[in-house]
Amino acid sequence: MMAARIAPYNNILPQHMIVAIDGPAGAGKSTVARAVAGELGYVYIDSGAMYRAVALEALREGVALDDHIRLERLARGDRIRPGSSADDAIRAPEVSAAASRVSAIPGVRRALVEKQREMAESAAVVMEGRDIGTVVFPGAHVKIYLDADPRERARRRAIDLGSAGDREEMERLAAELAERDERDATRADSPLRRAPDAVMVDTTGRTIGDVVGEIVALVRARSASGKGAKG
């Protein structure tokens, strides 16, 4: 499969602050990003939810997951916006699987990246995903790479899936995550990469408040120093 070729972001000095939060599933991105946005009064954008919304529409409309043309058209449509689909519907396991497939389609990525960039033109944003600090906003004012060890991430996923407390299930989830990390790290077209200038934040064993506090302090320091985004 071909890697998505996406034009560089030309808006070198965006007027509004952009905070990019990337990292693997289960690192705590959604909870942390939402809370950081809340504290700063920025708009929170979950880019993964947009890939999920495309997948959900495709499943509902019977669009084949290898029909790149129709999937790109869907992704460009007005119905795909953050928050455009009910949260429960886009979190269903079959939608997760379909989202992973549609997110590998270059035209879908191009369409969603354009929308993500537009959103930062009118407001300060905290955007979470896999490629926000590398592809969507290489010039983001603050870049965070959030991580946690596979066991902790598995525990969080188990809580999300309602299977916390099931020891065997947790072991299985931890093994699955470790395997997926390995695959992602070695896949040439994986969207998840750490930007060289991202701040690494490991959430293992830390409270949400502690992690959020660290990131908010970083953003405040960066915005007080008046430094714009780097090109």
Helices vs. strands in the chain: H and E counts, helices first: 9, 5
Binding segment toward ligand DC, per CB under 6 A, in 56-64, 81-89, 124-132, 217-225? 124-132
Q: Does 28 bind ligand DC (CB under 6 A)?
A: no
Which one, 109 or 168, has the nearer CB to ligand DC? 109
Which one, 131 or 152, has the nearer CB to ligand DC? 131
Q: Does 120 bind ligand DC (CB under 6 A)?
A: no
Which one, 115 or 172, has the nearer CB to ligand DC? 115
b/e burial code for range 20-32 (CB count within 10 A of at least 16 → b): bbbbbbbbbbbeb
Residue 70 CB, nearest approach to ligand DC (Å): 18
Binding segment toward ligand DC, per CB under 6 A, in 80-88, 98-106, 140-148, 153-161? 98-106
Q: State how far Cα 225 lies from the chain centre.
A: 27
Helical packing angle, 68-76 and 47-61, nearest 10°: 120
Residue 224's contacts (CB-CB under 8 Å, 6 or more residues apart) are none
Kindly report the backbone phi and psi dihedral angles of residue 97, in degrees, each rounded to the nearest multiple of 5, phi listed first. -65, -45
Q: Does 72 bind ligand DC (CB under 6 A)?
A: no
Which one, 31 or 223, has the nearer CB to ligand DC? 31
In three-state secondary structure terms, 95 is: helix
Q: Does 45 bind ligand DC (CB under 6 A)?
A: no
Interface with ligand DC (CB under 6 A): 25, 47-48, 51-52, 99-100, 103, 129-131, 191
